[in-house]
Amino acid sequence: MTIREQTEALEERTLSPYATLAARSRGREREEELCPLRTVFARDRDRIIHCKAFRRLKYKTQVFLAPVGDHYHTRMTHTLEVAQIARTISRALRLNEDLTEAIALGHDLGHTPFGHAGERALDEIHPDGFAHHAQSLRVVKKLENDGKGLNLTWEVRDGILNHTSGSMPSTPEGRIVRLADRIAYLNHDIDDALRGGVLTDEEIPWETRYVLGRTHSQRINALVVDTVENSTGELITMSPRVEQAFLALRRFMFEQVYTNPIAKSEEGKAEYILKRLYDHFLHHTDELHAEFRRICEEDGAQTAVCDYIAGMTDRFAIQVYEDIFIPQAWNK
């Protein structure tokens, strides 16, 4: 037996009856030779970590645009925290950690620069609309690897596409990532809001502090432990008491942080930048990189321009905007 086959046999013996086994994956869109060491889900995880879109997450906004300070969260740190929370839950429920981690690491690959402000801008201007979960799937199916995509398994692609609103993921591992995403962003956004002076500890609703705890670690621990204690493996859920506190905290964050003028003060500028870039490249497709000129021929100019802008980091979008629209100093 290969090491991969030994791992698959171990999964069969030790994982929950509800776990998604690598040996029973629905497979890839294009067949390929199996790895002698890694299961198909472990291989997917590694492909995501090594892809270009994953590296760009380091310079994409989470909530605060262009924050001053080294400790604010980015799309990369958010992704890593989602993966950590999801793996903890998955391990406790004896589900497939490799699948869970692959979905978590890939779930935001299609996010725009400037966070949800960028997503709104592209959704408004692009005729087909824009949603980051659908774009994340497009990244792994087509945009990575010189247009060939990463050829991920069906289970990972399903989890990436359905990690946010809309249809539920088909696997319990995907449903764990969907919940872990919310647990992660609510808690690290509180940290960033406290650091940025948008919130104080005393403003956090007392009922959520009483149920979930006062600190970052206490809240995450309470949510994770409660999820493990109340989930069956197939059904991923919280107790009514903890879920109610969690939803109250989410409402509070939307009211006090996600629409707060301090946190959102630069979003209008960010949306303006992306809309100007979209319009410019739509009329100057010859300025696109070769890979996106190819997409112009295959899927149309609007899709190619949307792909190009969605893949930008915050700082690259600003630099491109300045290069195109801001007069440069002239040197003799």
Q: Give 147-163 as a DSSP string.
A: TT----BHHHHHHHHTS
Phi, psi (rounded to 5 degrees) for 71? -110, 5
**Residue in 189, 195, 235 with CA at minimum distance from that of residue 81:** 189
**Residue in 167, 65, 48, 154 with CA at minimum distance from that of residue 108:** 48
What percentage of the chain reaches a pLDDT higher than 70?
A: 95
The domain ranges of the chain are: 3-21+34-264, 267-325
Handedness of CA 302, 269, 136, 142 (dihedral sign): positive
Each residue's pLDDT tens digit, 162-196: 999 778 999 999 999 999 999 999 999 898 888 87
Check residue 168 and give its pLDDT: 95
Contacts of residue 86, defined as CB under 8 A and 6 or more positions apart, other chains included, come to 100, 101, 103, 104, 173, 176, 177, 180
Calpha distance 97→90 (Å, rounded): 6
- Fold designation for 3-21+34-264: Hypothetical protein af1432 (1.10.3210)
Query: Quick one: tokens of 245?
Result: 């506190």
| Cβ atoms of 248 and 110 closer than 8 Å | no
Model confidence, pTM: 0.95
Burial category of 141 from C-beta neighbours within 10 Å (exposed 0-12, middle 13-18, buried 19 and up): middle
pLDDT at 70 exceeding the cut of 90? no
| Cβ atoms of 273 and 321 closer than 8 Å | yes
**Residue in 149, 167, 65, 70 with CA at minimum distance from that of residue 109:** 149
pLDDT interval class at 197 (50, 70, 90):
confident
Each residue's pLDDT tens digit, 88-140: 999 999 999 999 999 999 999 999 999 889 999 999 999 999 999 999 999 99
pLDDT at 16 exceeding the cut of 60? yes
